[in-house]
Amino acid sequence: MCGIVGYIGQQPAPPIILEGLQKLEYRGYDSAGICTIDGGQAHIRRSKGKLVNLARLLAAVPMQGSVAIGHTRWATHGKPTETNAHPHKAGPVVLVHNGIIENYLTLKKDLHCNNHNFKSDTDTEVIAHLIEHEMVRGSGFEEAVRAALQELKGAYAVCLVSETEPGMMIAAKHGSPLVVGLGDREFMVASDIPPILPHTREMVFLEDDEMVVFKDGSARFSTVSGDSLTKIARHIDWSPLLAEKDGYRHFMLKEIFEQPRTVQDTLAGRLLEDEEDVCLEDLGLNDSELAQVRRICIVACGTSWHSGLVGKYLLEEHCRLPVEVDIASEFRYRNPVIGPETLLIAISQSGETADTLAAVREATIRGARTISICNVIDSSIARETEGVIYTHAGPEIGVASTKAFVTQLVALYLLMLRLGRVGGSITLERMLPHFATLLHLPALMERALRLDSAAESIARRYQHAGDFLYLGRGINYPIALEGALKMKELSYIHAEGYPAGEMKHGPIALIDENLPVVVLALKDRHYQKVISNMEEVIARGGRVIAICTEGDNEVALKAESVMYLPECSEWIAPILLSIPLQLLAYHMSSIKGNDVDQPRNLAKSVTVE
């Protein structure tokens, strides 16, 4: 996720772009850049790190021009360096991009053969070269943009200028958001509403494969392939703060609702349907090295540890390798038995958690092979492991992890498929149903998000509870732990997660008419056993909140409150179950008037012991 912004009009563009980028910094902040067209020439300034560095650069060396584009980056392809920062230029063409171009390597190879030299490691630069290539072959700027965009696979929102057309700006989108602001002979585009609000409230929301060309004080809309369009502007009446959160009350809620899209980003370019294989581009270990792995050890903290626990079920079942999952702060001090045949997988959203990083260092000293699953590109853990699977969830602002967690689960699923293929435990025949499951996942997640108002009513009903118990079995047991952690950290209500079968070994003593018990009771191989555990709770007066499969009347009759999820493969059930549990904890926190995005005593990234 990155933020892009563009301006064309009569005013000095650089301050407008800078102010716009400040409002988009929540979308990425590892580098930023701006390009203005002044005197028929493109002038570019870029800097690594937060936007303040670019602002300093502009203060020291000001820019002129009333056409400009800007970008704030959240790295996906290529490290967060100045060279990889946008805008990218090829010949006369300059662009900013938000999205992931899945076929960039193929396109880059072809362009190389046509004498195009690349300066950055990004997927984005390919687009600039493709357009330049078309222009060299005789197309005008607009025509070249149309031709190039039709070659792309993946997601993009782009804003482009060219030295050959100094009074023109073009924007288009496919899969990534793009809003167009219509002023009086001045126009803006941005990844989101906030940068546009101070300038105009009349906005057009581009649909996929739509494009807009600004020239001579007018905006002309069309499809990318060239059919003219009439777009109706909407009047946006939002307050600037609400707008930053896309209309949601909190970043956490926005991030919960973003999850289907982020899962698509995690999957982008990785399921090779033609080859019936999975591509994990930065995995670091080749097939023969992966085939030598005899044991897996996963280390992580907090929510990331819970995703590791789900990973154990996936990897053991499908790859037939023994998997241990350790809390990183325990692993680093306990003389673990690991060596060259052990694959250590470190899971961390931030990639900076001190204990997880220390565990990676410990494993490296002991000769284990190491990979990580991280969200933040080029973070310490990503750098210090031999390979990495980036989750591509975009910046997670809410301290309570939501979208990073579900994308970690998807990354583990992909790793399971890769390891299973290499090790021979997943045949081609068994691979394709997994592809279908993953490709269908975002649609099922959208359906799970419809539980928002049910989760809110349940939160209201149980808001005075002093404790919560969460029960799950099998691959959903870690989700009981995660549900309880979300409830604790957000609502400050004490909550425990337990494997449902463990109830009678102690926790059943807690049950009385004041204890809400969240039971994860989907129709899977453990269903009957979970129902028995639920009966045990009900028999002792406990108040059951069940999450069950649509159409399950048996559970509905017994439980006090119910939320239904669509039928799904048991391997993605943890992802779907996470959604109502996140929503329940979110609403509980919000009802109690807590600081949802920054709960007390917590930090987003724990870089100290």
* Residues belonging to the active site: 2, 604
Q: Taking a C-beta distance cutoff of 8 angstroms, is the pair 586, 596 a contact?
A: yes
In the bound state with ligand M6R, the residue whose beta carbon lies nearer, of 534 and 596, is 596
Q: Taking a C-beta distance cutoff of 8 angstroms, is the pair 69, 5 a contact?
A: yes
CA distances from 304 to 198, 200, 290, 409 (A): 39, 42, 23, 9
Shortest reach from residue 396's CB to ligand M6R, in Å: 9
CB atoms within 10 A of CB 215: 14
In the bound state with ligand M6R, the residue whose beta carbon lies nearer, of 400 and 563, is 400
At position 542, the amino acid (one-letter code) is G
- DSSP string computed for 360-403: HHHHHHTT-EEEEEESSTT-HHHHHSSEEEE-------SSS-SH
Q: What is the DSSP letter of 76?
A: S
Going by DSSP bridges, is the β-strand pair 31-38/295-300 parallel, antiparallel, or unpaired? unpaired
Shortest reach from residue 251's CB to ligand M6R, in Å: 13
Q: Taking a C-beta distance cutoff of 8 angstroms, is the pair 537, 581 a contact?
A: no
Shortest reach from residue 304's CB to ligand M6R, in Å: 4
Task: Report the C-alpha gap between 389 and 371 in whole angstroms.
Answer: 8
- DSSP string computed for 479-503: HHHHHHHHHHHHH--EEEEEEGGGG
Tokens standing for residue 4: 């892009």
Shortest reach from residue 266's CB to ligand M6R, in Å: 15
In the bound state with ligand M6R, the residue whose beta carbon lies nearer, of 569 and 605, is 605
Tokens standing for residue 338: 């690991």
**Residue whose structure tokens are 């167009």:** 180
CA 194 to chain centre: 21
Q: Taking a C-beta distance cutoff of 8 angstroms, is the pair 462, 518 a contact?
A: no
Shortest reach from residue 604's CB to ligand M6R, in Å: 7
Shortest reach from residue 306's CB to ligand M6R, in Å: 8
In the bound state with ligand M6R, the residue whose beta carbon lies nearer, of 204 and 301, is 301
Shortest reach from residue 606's CB to ligand M6R, in Å: 5
In the bound state with ligand M6R, the residue whose beta carbon lies nearer, of 193 and 374, is 374
In the bound state with ligand M6R, the residue whose beta carbon lies nearer, of 594 and 605, is 605
Tokens standing for residue 541: 């007066």
CA neighbor of 28 nearest in space, from 147, 157, 118: 157
Burial environment of residue 239 by CB neighbours within 10 A (0 to 12, 13 to 18, 19 or more): exposed
Shortest reach from residue 308's CB to ligand M6R, in Å: 10
Shortest reach from residue 300's CB to ligand M6R, in Å: 6
Shortest reach from residue 351's CB to ligand M6R, in Å: 7
Quick check: helix, strand or coil at residue 77? coil
**Residue whose structure tokens are 């707008």:** 243
In the bound state with ligand M6R, the residue whose beta carbon lies nearer, of 1 and 152, is 1
Which residue lies nearest ligand M6R, judged by its C-beta? 302
Residues that bind ligand M6R (CB under 6 A): 301-304, 348-350, 353, 356, 399-401, 489, 602, 605-606
In the bound state with ligand M6R, the residue whose beta carbon lies nearer, of 302 and 474, is 302
CA neighbor of 280 nearest in space, from 135, 393, 131, 391: 391
In the bound state with ligand M6R, the residue whose beta carbon lies nearer, of 47 and 303, is 303
For 273-368, list the strands marked E by DSSP.
Answer: 277-278, 295-300, 323-327, 342-348
Q: Taking a C-beta distance cutoff of 8 angstroms, is the pair 92, 131 a contact?
A: no
- DSSP string computed for 396-422: --SSS-SHHHHHHHHHHHHHHHHHHHH
In the bound state with ligand M6R, the residue whose beta carbon lies nearer, of 348 and 561, is 348
